[in-house]
Amino acid sequence: MQLKDLKVVVTGAAQGMGAHFAQRLHEAGAQVAVGDISEEKLATLPAGIHRRRLDVSNEEDCTSFVNWAYQTMGGLNGLINNAGILRDALLVKKDKTTGQVKKLSTADWNAVIGVNLTGATIMVREVVAKMVETEQKPGVIVNMSSIARHGNRGQSNYVSAKAALAANTVTWSKEFAPFGIRVGAIAPGLIETPMTQGMNQKARDTLVATIPVGRIGLPEDIWVAVKFVLECDYFNGRTIDVDGGLYF
């Protein structure tokens, strides 16, 4: 599919990779509808990009947003499922000084699963339902997974969500094939975004030192992969790792 033919939703688009994807799509002539919980940051995106508040953890919000995007763009044939949050912590930790045992809170588990998995799944469901209802084809879904899906210390909640998204990319590619809808996933490694800029500097430097290409990734590196999935009509049901060779 050519980018100029896309009428696409991008979630989590107020900053970082989502904002970069939205701008690049807009520059390529696509119609873009973006959503995020931060309306203030959405307002900084270029004119011509449709924007509206979206909390993907709220089912009614997802349904309403998809209907709005369809009406605003006069159609809908794509989704970049990018919204995500972090609530990192070891599942069980023992303080070396006090001996106190700390556990990952259920609230932090539910928050990450609610946005990164349940919310992402609802967005796919609603976008695909709209495409099928309106007989829109071809269509394309891009899920943002992570190399953390292979397992990463201190990220039980995040790993669970991103591994499930990668697995369901295969599931959905099979389910949606009769409707002419492809599904692919991108699994970024360590990327320069507001989320990673908040990391402990020592931990960040140590991690960057393990990347064979010798640097942290940039949103443009991930955009190149997203663009491939959008444009290559023979790509379906697979996840592409874009991590500079990083291995946890």
Cβ burial, residue 176 (10 Å; 0-12/13-18/19+): buried
For residue 98, which amino acid is it? Answer: T
Q: Are the C-beta atoms of residues 226 and 21 closer than 8 Å to each other?
A: yes
Which residue of the set 70, 158, 234, 247 is catalytic? 158
158 is catalytic: yes
Which residues face 93 on adjacent strands?
102
DSSP state, 46? P
In angstroms, the CA 70 to CA 223 distance is 24
Q: Where are the beta strands (DSSP E) in 85-236?
A: 92-94, 101-103, 139-144, 181-188
For tokens 């020592």, the residue is 202
What residues are annotated to the active site? 158
